[in-house]
Amino acid sequence: AAGVIQSPRHLIKEKRETATLKCYPIPRHDTVYWYQQGPGQDPQFLISFYEKMQSDKGSIPDRFSAQQFSDYHSELNMSSLELGDSALYFCASREDSSNEQFFGPGTRLTVL
């Protein structure tokens, strides 16, 4: 069965650089979520989109922005990267008829 695809899987950036993470949801899933999991921590909700519109916003820094495109894939843009942004970033998707969220493998971002 198709799963959530995230790219890249690993990313190394310097402080103050920018990064773009991509998420391709499961086909026919119209809701996308982004979560951040710091080392040894539980995942924290950042932002979500439904039908290409932002549906909810969590603890996402102002330096981050995200959008969902017409093909339902989503991108998380991160600017002025800080050491503390080093984390696993997960994308999850859900179809409208279900409450179950399916997670991608994550992008491991390391900021040096």
Partner 1 sequence: KQEVTQIPAALSVPEGENLVLNCSFTDSAIYNLQWFRQDPGKGLTSLLLIQSSQREQTSGRLNASLDKSSGRSTLYIAASQPGDSATYLCARGYGNKLVFGAGTILRVKS
Contact positions vs partner 1 (CB under 8 A):
31, 33, 35, 41-45, 48, 50, 55-56, 58, 88, 90, 92, 98-106, 108
- Transcribe the chain into DSSP letters: ----EEE-SEEEE-TT--EEEEEEPPTT--EEEEEEE-TTS--EEEEEEETTEEEEE-S--TTEEEEE-TTS-EEEEE-S--GGG-EEEEEEEE-TT----EE---EEEEE-
Q: Residue 65 or residue 103: which is nearer to partner 1 going by CB?
A: 103
Q: Residue 31 or residue 74: which is nearer to partner 1 going by CB?
A: 31
Q: Residue 42 or residue 62: which is nearer to partner 1 going by CB?
A: 42
Q: Residue 65 or residue 101: which is nearer to partner 1 going by CB?
A: 101
The least CB distance from residue 44 to partner 1, in Å, is 8
The least CB distance from residue 102 to partner 1, in Å, is 6
The least CB distance from residue 60 to partner 1, in Å, is 11
Q: Kindly report the backbone phi and psi dihedral angles of residue 83, in degrees, each rounded to the nearest multiple of 5, phi listed first.
A: -55, -35
